[in-house]
Amino acid sequence: MSQLHNKTQAWSALFSEPMSELVQRYTASVFFDKRLWRADIQGSLAHAEMLQAQGLISPVDWADIQRGMAQITEEIESGRFEWKLELEDVHLNIEARLTALVGDAGKRLHTGRSRNDQVATDVRLWLRGEVDDIVTLLGALQKALVTTAGQYADTILPGFTHLQVAQPVSFGHHLLAYVEMFARDAERFVDLRKRVNRLPLGSAALAGTSYPLDRERVARTLDFEAVSQNSLDAVSDRDFAIEFTAAASLVMVHVSRLSEELILWMSQSFGFIDLADRFCTGSSIMPQKKNPDVPELARGKTGRVVGHLMGLVTLMKGQPLAYNKDNQEDKEPLFDTVDTVKDTLRIFTELAGGITVKAEAMERAALKGYATATDLADYLVKKGLPFRDAHEVVAHAVKSAIAKGVDLGELSLAELQAFHPGIDNDVYAVLSLRGSLNARNLLGGTAPQQVRAQVARHLARLG
């Protein structure tokens, strides 16, 4: 053990005793950060290529490093690579294997580099790819929702405020509200990608390095769009991880709101939709049950992602410059956030096509809450009444309709005229749900014509 310790740990000459097993397990990260192996090798190859171009290692060393890394890639892909806890993390595991395979060239790889700028580079490389995946998945989800929305532009849903029936809306319009949210989410990821995509390598441990590295060259090789400008900041900055998790939290919050609605709509009290069986489970005791597990879990997993955001913010809060081991704790929350968001987006893209709409039940519910009262007020305004007076007149009409147990449209013309003599036979068109819907025919409004225009706009935008 102590021989292995002396051989493999970079700082070993200074240490007179090995770590206890507990400390080793406590400080090691290999069992989660091995996930970064591809980025680690990619970063190392770019660094080595530049060392060679700068004359800091020989062409033979560079060839050896390439050969070694090719074999390591093969070993990891085929599951034959032996990850060692005592080698602490992904970086030392790969470097040790490289040295075992190619000798001195492996030992020269770390010239002008520290694990501090190495890990920052790896995480950024890896996360950049995940950001791209998430943007693609957000596009697919939007498309699925837009497609469903297009089918239900004319379907009437009670629109709620305070979860009380407010005004009728198109079900398509309602779904498109979520498309707007996911479109903003995609925008956020595209924007934060710029700040992820900067190269820390060359910052070394914290102060830069005395070797004449060509940082721009490494950035070009790795497709980074900028090179970090301050070594202390570069090795210790985790803003990009926090930003990413914040954007991911908003995605989950949006999914969670949609989930809550799906759950409510599917409940017996609402009965607005049914979800395909493949997204539900039964109960082990109540044979009649079909539970909306997928939206419920998505709502639950939102807590987990928001928790990761809080974890990362708190992780950074008290850290002095520059790198501290605390930063190793950035990985698991990031990994879990990525996995949770990607799976959630995939499953909701499928789910968007698995909603059965019970249009009659929706419309019946919209009839219940005097949802066209505002339309009556607007009607009176068009007859010349100031809006506040019209509001008062309609309040009286609603009160009397409630007492009679009927809807506004079921009051006779004489009854309505008792509230205001200006009311005419044409009022009944206004009091219908469809009349109310069609009337809101302005940009952003719920009229089916507007919904169809929005569907077309989204489809063109999403390609």
Rule CB under 6 A: which residues touch ligand ARG?
A: 29, 33, 89, 115-116, 119, 323, 325, 327-328
Active-site residue identified among 78, 162, 210, 284: 162
Tokens of 127: 């996360």
Tokens of 283: 């109960």
Tokens of 337: 């956030």
> How far apart, in whole angstroms, are the C-alpha atoms of residue 204 and residue 234?
9
- State yes or no: is 162 an active-site residue: yes
Active-site residue identified among 2, 267, 283, 396: 283
Tokens of 161: 């405020």
> How far apart, in whole angstroms, are the C-alpha atoms of residue 292 and residue 349?
16
Question: E-strand spans in 171-298?
Answer: 198-199, 226-227, 273-275
The CB-side HSE value for 33 (13 A sphere, CA atoms) comes to: 28
> How far apart, in whole angstroms, are the C-alpha atoms of residue 320 and residue 338?
28
DSSP 97-127: HHHHHHTHHHHHTTTT--HHHHHHHHHHHHH
> How far apart, in whole angstroms, are the C-alpha atoms of residue 232 and residue 95?
24
> How far apart, in whole angstroms, are the C-alpha atoms of residue 378 and residue 390?
8
Q: From the CB of 88, what's the least distance to ligand ARG, in Å?
A: 7
Q: In degrees rounded to 5, what are phi and psi of residue 169?
A: -130, 160
263 alpha-carbon distance from chain centroid = 21
Do 434 and 129 touch, CB atoms closer than 8 A?
no
Residue 328 or 438: the one with the smaller Cβ distance to ligand ARG is: 328
Which residues pair with residue 198 across a beta bridge? Answer: 226
Closest CA to 274 of 176, 177, 360, 371: 360
Amino acid at position 36, single letter: L
> How far apart, in whole angstroms, are the C-alpha atoms of residue 201 and residue 218?
8
> How far apart, in whole angstroms, are the C-alpha atoms of residue 333 and residue 187?
22
Do 425 and 435 touch, CB atoms closer than 8 A?
no
> How far apart, in whole angstroms, are the C-alpha atoms of residue 117 and residue 178?
39
- Number of neighbouring beta carbons within 10 Å of residue 80: 8
- State yes or no: is 91 an active-site residue: no
**Residues with active-site annotation:** 162, 283
